[in-house]
Amino acid sequence: MSIYVGNLSYEVTESALNEVFAEYGSVKRVQLPVDRETGRMRGFGFVEMETETEEAAAIDALDGAEWMDRTLKVNKAKPRR
């Protein structure tokens, strides 16, 4: 299972995102996809935690929270197709 993190600033880095989520559990993986054509940030990312309990805690704590002057959108990610 992974977490979707939307409405991110283009200035956010994977390590910065990692630090925020690490407050609620062990971050297993962080990914900030860039547009393959333009090489620009897409404004969202994905985070995987060690357990579903930690993921739920992070989603509950960070969804709707303000970070880097943006209101985060955090929820369970859809499986990649």
Partner DNA sequence: GTTGAGCGTT
Interface of this chain with DNA, residues 13 to 32, rule: CB under 7 A: 31
23: part of which helix (H) or strand (E)? Answer: none
Residue 39 makes contact with DNA by CB under 7 A: no
34 neighbors 41 (Cβ within 8 angstroms): yes
Asked if 8 contacts 77 with a C-beta cutoff of 8 angstroms, the reply is no
- Does 36 help bind DNA (rule: CB under 7 A)? yes
Contact with DNA (CB under 7 A): which of 8, 17, 27, 62? 8
Q: At what angle do helices 14-21 and 52-62 cross, to 10 degrees?
A: 100
Chain positions contacting DNA, by CB under 7 A: 2, 4, 6-10, 31, 33-36, 42-44, 46, 70, 73, 75, 77-81
